[in-house]
Amino acid sequence: MADTPHITFSLFVLSLSASAEIHMGQLPPPGSDEPAAQHLTEAAHLIEVIAMLEEKTAGNLEESEEGLISAVLYDLRMRYVEASRAGKRVVEP
């Protein structure tokens, strides 16, 4: 696995964030050039997972990791509100 990056907490959080953005229709899924339809339920779930990680790791993270997870959560929550208000291309399971 020489081609795969070393997994860090920050990379894990960013991966969850990218998945949430894909579900909000803001990033294309891997292998596609076009954003997919929104799946806001899945996006909300991923945001809650990141929030749970923030809560469960409180006091155990480096300052840069704390800043990253806080910024990612703020950004995702704001994007989620915008996406849910826009209501465009929404597909709920």
Answer whether residue 91 shows pLDDT above 50: no
State the residue range of the domain holding 74.
14-29+37-86
Our count of domains for the chain comes to 1
One-letter amino acid for residue 25 of the chain: G
Q: What is the DSSP letter of 39?
A: -
> Which pLDDT tens digit goes with each residue over 29-48?
888 888 778 899 999 999 99
- Residues shown for the chain: 93
**Beta carbons of 61 and 39 less than 8 angstroms apart:** no
Higher local confidence (pLDDT), 91 or 65: 65
Does the residue 49 lie in any domain? yes
Does the residue 46 lie in any domain? yes
How far, in Å, CA of 84 to CA of 86, rounded?
6
Does the residue 4 lie in any domain? no
For 42-59, what is the mean pLDDT? Answer: 97
Residue 42's contacts (CB-CB under 8 Å, 6 or more residues apart) are 20, 23, 93
Does the residue 18 lie in any domain? yes
**Beta carbons of 28 and 22 less than 8 angstroms apart:** yes
